[in-house]
Structure 1
Amino acid sequence: MGLILAISFGGALGSVLRYTLSKLVQEKVGIDFPLGTLFVNMTSAFLIGFFFAYLVERLTISPALRAFLITGFLGGYSTFSTLTYESYQLLMNGEMFKFAFYAFGSLLGGTFMTLLGYNLGRII
């Protein structure tokens, strides 16, 4: 039951942070492109790489803290379902360049950010 509570609490915090940051970035930039979601996804990708390398491999954190941070917090913070919906909207609106940049940029950028976070977590 402790792991379920850790995941639930982490997921709630991550979801609130995702909503807040995504809206804030989108409002500040003010362009017709889902930059808020892209920002959240890139930071999430970086953090999962960093948390895994630094906190799991180097510090060997407890299973409850790992579940809270990685499964709960980052699971709630990342926005794959939003990414796919916004990609669909761009596609349906005929915005092929924006769709391609967003979809492929999210996948490649996310992979790069995970690699960056992981490597940073290993050297700190």
Structure 2
Amino acid sequence: MGLMLAIAFGGALGSVLRYVVSKLVQEKVGIDFPFGTLFVNITASFFIGFFFAYLVEKLTISPAFRAFLITGFLGGYSTFSTLTYEGYNLLMNGEMVKFIFYAVGSLLGGIFMTLLGYNLGRML
């Protein structure tokens, strides 16, 4: 039961942070493009790589803390369902160039940021 509570608490915090960060980035950019979600997804990718390499491989952390941070917090912070919904809307609105940039940017940017975070975490 302790792992479930850790995941639930982390997920709640990550979800709130996702909303705040996405909204702030979107307001700053001010363009009709889901930059807020894109930013959240690539930063989540970086942090999952970093935390896994640094906290899981280099330090010994408890299973509860790992569940809280990686499964809960980062799972709540990342927004794959929002990404697919916004991508669908771009397609349905005929905005093919925006859709391609968003889809490719999210996937490749996410993979690159995971790699970057993981390697940074291993170097520390």
Paired with 1:117 and 1:60, the residues of 2 have a C-alpha distance of 18
CA shift digits 1:46-96 (9 cap, x unpaired): 000000000000002110000000000000000000000000000001110
Report % sequence identity. 85
Superposed displacement of residue 104, structure 1: 1.1
Amino acid at match of 2:16: V
Normalised to the residue count of structure 1, the TM-score between the two structures is: 0.99
Q: Which residue of 1 aligns with 2:73?
A: 73
Q: Which residue of 2 aligns with 1:4?
A: 4
Paired with 2:99 and 2:57, the residues of 1 have a C-alpha distance of 36
Paired with 1:16 and 1:80, the residues of 2 have a C-alpha distance of 15
Q: Which residue of 2 aligns with 1:60?
A: 60
Paired with 1:94 and 1:60, the residues of 2 have a C-alpha distance of 49
Q: Which residue of 1 aligns with 2:112?
A: 112
Paired with 1:113 and 1:74, the residues of 2 have a C-alpha distance of 14
Flag as ranges the 4+ runs of structure 1 deviating above 2 A: none
Paired with 1:36 and 1:94, the residues of 2 have a C-alpha distance of 21
CA shift digits 1:17-45 (9 cap, x unpaired): 00000001101110000000000001000
Question: Structure 1 regions of 5+ residues with no counterpart?
Answer: none
Question: Structure 2 regions of 5+ residues with no counterpart?
Answer: none
Paired with 1:87 and 1:71, the residues of 2 have a C-alpha distance of 24
Q: Which residue of 2 aligns with 1:41?
A: 41
Q: Which residue of 2 aligns with 1:26?
A: 26
In the comparison of the two structures, how many residue pairs are matched?
Answer: 124
Q: Which residue of 2 aligns with 1:88?
A: 88
Paired with 2:30 and 2:82, the residues of 1 have a C-alpha distance of 18
Normalised to the residue count of structure 2, the TM-score between the two structures is: 0.99
